[in-house]
Structure 1
Amino acid sequence: MRNVCMIVSFDGTAYYGFQTQPGGNTIQDHIEEGLHDLTGEKLKVLGSGRTDAGVHARRQIFNFHTESLIPIERWCMALNGRLPDDIVVTHAFEVPLGFHARHSAKQKTYRYCINANQFPDLFQRHTQLHHPGKLHVLSMREALTSLVGTHDFTSFASRHSTKVNHVRTIYHAEIQLDTSMCRPGEPRDQGLITLYITGNGFLQHMVRIIVGTLLQVGEGKKKPSELQTILEAKDRAKAGPTAESKGLMLWDVLYDFTEEFPSPKEHSL
Structure 2
Amino acid sequence: MSPTPYLELEGVAAHLGERRVFDNLSLRLNLGEHAVVLGPNGAGKSALVKLISREIYPVVQQDSSLRLFGDRTVNLWQLRQRIGLVSSDLERLYNPRVCANDVVLSGCFGSVGIGRSQTPTPAMQQRVAELMDQLGLLELAEERFGHLSEGQRRRLLIARASVHKPDVLVLDEPTNALDLKARHQLLELMRQLSCGGTTLLLVTHQIEAVIPEIQRCVMLKAGQLMADGPCDQVLTSPNLSALFETPLQLLSANGYRQVLPG
Normalising by structure 2, we get a TM-score of 0.25
Q: Which structure: larger Rg?
A: 1
Which structure has more helix as a fraction of its residues? 2
Normalising by structure 1, we get a TM-score of 0.25
